[in-house]
Amino acid sequence: MHNNPVAQSSHLTGATDVRQVPSNGPIPVPESLELRATDSELPHRVSSEFRPRDDRGPDGISCPPVVSRRASIVRGIDPVTGYIGAMHPLPDAHKSFLDQALPALQADLRVHAVVIAGSAVTGGMDEWSDLDLVVLVEDVAEVALAQEHFEIAARLGTLLQAFRGDHVGEPRLLICLYDAPLLHVDVKFMANKDASTLRYPAEVLWARAAPPELPAPAPAKAFDLQWCADRLPGWAHYLGIKIGRGEWFEALNSLDFVRTRVLAPLIAREVGATPRGVRRLEETRSPRLEWLARTVCTYDRTEIATASKEAMLLAWSLLDAAGPGVNRNRPAEERALGFLNEVAERGIDRNTL
């Protein structure tokens, strides 16, 4: 009995066992598949000419090989390199989870395909990364299956906890914590007809029949420099009010907002990285990070006021470096910064209230 789901599915279809393929060599195309398009012709979707042979395992479940939608050849999980199709290496814990989860999903005849997303596709996956899966189900089964999301998640591994992603506006998403290995896995259930609505980088990991055509990822929106410039003086004044009144928790929360929505994206943009808030900002190795660190402080009036001033000065320095094209309200900036200085000098000592 194979432990590797792809090796198992290769066994059921008669495809070449990926474990016999050299780590630096291509994975052969099984004779059971016909793909009439090349990688260059279909950079973002799998060919509609994909026609798997109707091979079935001993349990009667059709299990065609793993297919990567950005490649015109069939690929599998290579146990040597850790690659899934044309994607990036997976850490051992993530591979171990998929070894168990993928056959469990294949065994449910209502599941049409399994899609993988996140850093497994975009790059940068490491032992600290979560795993992002999209389970595409038959259209007619979507409503009934919605009542079984937690049961299905429990079959994928040793489930410690799961809850719906309604806090991010996505009730079809289950945010799961598994054990052995301890791993955060996001599992999103969607009808197969809705596959075309996926607008982030993703790859078809497995499909029961013809893999769904996934759209090209939506282009990243350009970061709006003017949006920042128009708001910074007002935010500086707001910070000063909260510090002066003694609402230090609110000031700390507002400072974090400025750090996440303004400073980090501006720093990422400056070094040519994609703005993602403060996520993995350290990997940019920007010389601005030392300055950004000065915007982090403790629950202390003087520290909060100093950090707020550093945040505004850093933001305006980044806007200066961005070049022409940004309209700045210099009088408002100077007056708001002056107000922060006044608050720092005469602010209420919260400990005396």
The CATH number corresponding to 225-352 among 1.20.120.330, 3.50.50.60, 2.60.120.10, 1.10.287.610 equals: 1.20.120.330
Amino acid type, 197? T
The tokens of 99 are what? Answer: 């070894």
pLDDT at 330: 97
What are the residue ranges of CATH 3.30.460.10 in the chain?
Answer: 5-207
Residue 154: which of 129, 174, 169 has the closest Cα?
174
Amino acid type, 243? I
Residue 238: which of 332, 352, 351 has the closest Cα?
332
Other beta carbons within 10 angstroms of residue 257's beta carbon come to 12
What are the residue ranges of CATH 1.20.120.330 in the chain?
Answer: 225-352
Place of tokens 């793993």: 66
Long-range contacts, 156-162 (Cβ 8 Å, 24+):
156/97, 156/100, 156/101, 156/104, 156/105, 156/185, 156/187, 157/97, 157/100, 157/101, 157/183, 157/185
pLDDT at 50: 26
Domain 5-207 has CATH 3.30.460.10: yes
For residue 200, give the DSSP letter. S
pLDDT at 92: 93
Length of the chain (residues): 353
CA dist 129 and 119 (Å) reads: 8
Per-residue pLDDT of the chain (353 residues; tens, 9 = 90+): 434 333 333 322 333 222 232 333 333 323 322 222 333 322 233 322 222 323 333 333 333 333 333 332 233 444 443 444 456 788 999 999 999 999 999 999 999 999 999 999 988 899 999 999 999 999 999 999 999 999 999 999 999 999 999 999 999 999 999 999 999 999 999 999 999 999 889 999 999 988 898 998 888 888 999 999 999 999 999 999 999 999 999 999 999 999 999 999 999 999 999 898 999 999 999 999 999 999 999 999 999 999 999 999 999 999 999 988 999 999 999 999 999 999 988 755 545 44
3-state secondary structure string, 212-247? CCCCCCCCCCCCCHHHHHHHHHHHHHHHHHHHHHCC
